[in-house]
Amino acid sequence: MAKKKAPEDGAKKLSNPNVMGLRPEVLEQPITETLEVNYMPYAMSVIVSRAIPEIDGFKPSHRKLLYTMYQMHLLGGSRTKSANVVGQTMKLNPHGDAAIYDTMVRLSRGYGALLHPLVDSKGNFGKVYSRDMAWAASRYTEVRLDPICTELFRDIDQDTVDFVDNYDGSMQEPTLLPTTFPNVLVSANQGIAVGMASNLCGFNLGEVCDVTAAYLKNPQVNLMEYLKAPDFSTGGELLYDEGALRQIYDTGRGSFQVRARWRYFKGENLIEVYEIPYTTTVEAIMDKVAELIKGGKIREITDMRDETDLNGLKITIDLKRGTDPDKLMAKLFKSTTLQDACSCNFNILIAGMPRVMGVREILEEWSAWRMDGVRRRTYHVMKKKQEKLHLLKGLKKILLDIDRAIQIIRETDEDAEVVPNLMIGFGIDQLQAEYVADIKLRNINKEYILKRIEEVAGLEEEIADLQDIVNNPGRIKKIIIGELGAVKKKYALPRRTEIVYDYQPAGPQEEEDETPDYPVHVFCSREGYFKKITPQSLRMSSEQKYKEGDGPFLQWEGSNRDELLVFTDRQQCYKTRLSDFEDAKASVLGDFLPTKLGMEPGEGFVWACLTADYSGSLLFFFENGKAARVELSAYQTQTRRKKLTGAYSDKSPLAAALHLAEDLELAVTSTEGRCLVFHTAALTPKTTRATQGVHVMTLKPKWRVADARPLAQATIVNAARYRVRSLPVAGMLLKEEDRGEQQLTLLE
């Protein structure tokens, strides 16, 4: 049988025959080709035509909407239904009406996202500081262009910008809007493209006009002298960090901190937050505060309400008696978005290419673009005046013999011959002849013609002046500076975001422990029932209640802030704080530690210890006769972990455990009935939690260590009999008087 030929490189057939016939051919495509052919055009479309703003400060969706409204004569006119504008915009923007209306909402005065709203709105447009406040449908709201839009469309009909066909070629739209001020720095803008994003914060209009004028006069000007800091429509306080702002001004990337503004009403014992950072919402703040209260991290707040009304944003916080409002707000600033970082990424399309630029580069690009726009406008006006001058020069030639012009027109038989005959008779061109032929009969008098001719000298002077402007960049800069001054005078508003200059960036600090500190008595039973009881409660009733078959095991006196380390039979240590347990009474069973600490199924409680500062050591005695001394600091963690694995060695079952604050003598007994007494100084402390330890008691195969406890707590009468000088030893058999009535062990 002939072998099948191996498929060639490139496209491969993946079809296999089956009973029903051959499957359709499927061609493989290399992933690089898929990205290049299918994905790259989409990515470039999103970057260039959707998400990244251009030098005029607008994305295409913004520009199409505003130009449509301009064409609808909504600049200076009365408002119209938003739905009407949305429908008209679809002639330029092929996206759905919902997307267009969302764009309009963000530009509106009612929504409040921009320092200088571009859409004068009437109706419910939601609020930028609210996540859940929905705006009304487009059929219920009305809009028109805000007066500041005059500066966006000034001289748009004088060839200041290029026009292109819309998506179906039925009409034309501007590629950019000829803004007379750097709107790209004034209007906040965000966009997420493919593989890149843009995040432009807003600046105060007056400061932007000042810094642009200063830059046009001196490109090396210190920008921070004029452009103090970003400004936001939601206000707040900007924590001034010169280094961070300089980085943003130089590179276009960086971040700075903005925090809420608040006031305290002493008589009512409440706080009102009335301005929040631009990057957050009321709902996000309240959700986070509720989470902190539920987690017990904030205990000073009794109630928190959103009282936002027609007068503006207001979050009211009711305080417990004796609460320091400054300390509480400092804690909220640290734990919630009442203080938030505002990130900057000044990514702008320049000639169709995205570029991340600092403020100086943006001013350079805007100035060059605006100078070209003013030059084009001036040239357009100059060409119009030159055309008029040309016509008037033709009229001047006819002035010498008006009667002859009339005679030529009267004696011409055909209308089409009038213009050629005038051209021949007076030596003028077709345009001039057309102008003369169209003069009304009543205007064929010397007075009218002389007045027209008197304009020639003035036009020649104006044209010469305009030509000088076109050729002189210095004069163009002066025109732009004058326009910036006029914009500032007419539209500039005071800063909304206050700058806090005396703020010093705080370094990493330990979180203040707000846990109440008071003495407690702690009890733990053999089965792991745990109780924390205050001294006052214990004085009222000291008789402890235990489950049937259970009994007392461990007892401590400590503070509510102490930490509890619970060891299990799977060599794990669970860490918690006494403050995590509710104060109990002696008459209750208490919390079952395996349930309270979330132990694994089948995992059992073995032993526990209490510590305030992780000083001292832990002694682990194993049934095989070994003992391990581990520094308690080995269980301390920086991240407040709740569970540590490998808490002690798993080579032999645990017989006993002790917490040593200082060295002392211990009595160790075995199931054979032997005992030895030694000083703990003989054991070297280890830092490894799972160390196997060293041999302390030598045992015969069938015996094991039964117990280990301080000599002072043992029942031994004659300790000298059992005291040893070196380890390991087998120990001496316990005498009857040293056994005591009851020998409690860890395993009983």
Minimal CA–CA distance to 229: which of 216, 244, 215, 218?
244
Q: In what order do the strands lie in the sheet with 563-568?
A: 605-611, 563-568, 572-577, 643-645
Burial of 155-187, coded b for 16+ CB within 10 Å and e otherwise, reads: bbebbbbeeeeeeeeeeebbebbbbbbbbbbbb
Residues sharing a CB contact under 8 Å with residue 496, sequence separation 6 or more, in sequence order: 115, 231, 232, 233, 234, 235
List own/partner pairs for 634-640 with CB under 8 A and 24 or more apart: 634/687, 634/688, 634/689, 635/565, 635/573, 635/575, 635/689, 637/575, 640/575
Q: Answer yes or no: 501 catalytic.
A: no
Distance of CA 351 to CAs 58, 175, 354, 369, Å? 14, 11, 8, 10
Which three-class secondary structure state does DSSP give residue 571?
coil
Give the other-Cβ count within 10 Å of 36's Cβ. Answer: 11
Beta bridge partners of 144: 120
CA distance 729 to 743: 21
CA distance 273 to 43: 42
CA distance 430 to 422: 9
Looking at the chain, how many residues does it have?
748
CA distance 658 to 620: 7
Residue 591 tokens read as 């919390």
578 DSSP assignment: G
Which residue type does 737 have?
A: E
Which three-class secondary structure state does DSSP give residue 233?
coil
DSSP per-residue letters across 137-157 = PTTT-EEEE-GGGHHHHTTTT
The dihedral through the CA atoms of 415, 418, 419, 424 has a sign that is: positive
Category of 122 on φ-ψ map: left (φ > 0), alpha (ψ -120 to 50) or beta: beta
309 DSSP assignment: B
Which three-class secondary structure state does DSSP give residue 256?
strand
Residue 79 tokens read as 């408002």
First-residue to last-residue Cα distance in the chain: 81
- Of the residues 140, 167, 501, 518, only one is catalytic, namely 140
- Answer yes or no: are the C-beta atoms of 669 and 734 closer than 8 Å: yes
- Answer yes or no: are the C-beta atoms of 649 and 657 closer than 8 Å: no
Instruction: Indicate the helix (H) or strand (E) that contains 36.
Output: none
- Rounded to 5 degrees, φ, ψ at 541 are -155, 115
Question: 253-259 and 237-239 as β-strands: parallel, antiparallel, unpaired?
Answer: antiparallel
Cα–Cα–Cα angle for 6, 11, 17, nearest 5°? 60
DSSP per-residue letters across 508-566 = --PPP------EEEEEEETT-EEEEE-HHHHHH-------TT--EEEEEEEETT-EEEE
CA distance 110 to 101: 13
Active site residues: 140
